[in-house]
Amino acid sequence: MVDRRRRRKSFFDDFFGSGFEDFENMIEEMIEKFGVDANELSRHPFVYGFSLTQKPGEEPEIREFGNVPSSKRGNDTEGHKVRIDERKPLIDVLETDSDIHVIAEMPGIEKEDISLNATDSSVELKASRGDRKYSEYIDLPAKIDPDTAKATYKNGVLEIIFKKSASQKSKTIDIE
């Protein structure tokens, strides 16, 4: 539990009542549910988020990011501790007519710490420096040619540009 210190009652206490106390209790309950030590939270960011993409005629695609393992987000968190040692970088995947751009935010590491591996349909990204570790597997929206990859890393932002595979370009087909 969070250590509460006695303090004098102020104008804000009278004005807001127990609203902040209720909010603090909700946060404590969430911390207990995830099994995380409150002191651990003060040393590392605790992040979870998702993006939802739906293309016409396709099923929605949900991509999760953050450093909360997926097994810890369900109801099976009783008695488990959350490890906050590996992070999921924030990722953007942009598609143009001829290219796929993958942009990943990974602050606190150097270019030499990054390992990239690409297939014709995915990119695996890993990086580690000191207590910062990043890992992500990214499914790409179109087939690419991994040999055309160009990557830059500057100010904590990794950008990888791939040329789309020639087989992905559209072609008009005449009907006989």
Q: What is the mean pLDDT of residues 122-137?
A: 89
Query: Do residues 162 and 152 lie in contact, with contact meaning Cβ atoms separated by under 8 Å?
Result: no
Task: Report CA-CA distances (Å) from 171 to 98, 145, 167, 168, 174.
Answer: 14, 18, 9, 9, 10
75-86: pLDDT as tens digits: 444 444 444 567
Determine the topology of domain 85-168 in CATH. Answer: Immunoglobulin-like (2.60.40)
pTM of the model: 0.52
Could you read off the pLDDT of 13-56 as tens digits, one per residue?
A: 666 666 667 777 777 787 777 666 666 555 556 677 777 787 78
Segments of 130-171 assigned E as strands: 132-139, 144-154, 157-164
* Residue found by looking up tokens 């370009």 in the block: 169
Higher pLDDT, 151 or 169: 151
Q: Classify residue 87 by its DSSP letter.
A: B
**Per-residue confidence (pLDDT) for residue 149, from 0 to 100:** 92
Please state, for a pLDDT cut of 90, what percent of the chain lies above it: 34
Q: Where are the domains of the chain?
A: 13-84, 85-168
Q: When comparing pLDDT for 169 and 116, which is higher?
A: 116
Residue 24 CA to residue 59 CA, distance in Å, equals 38
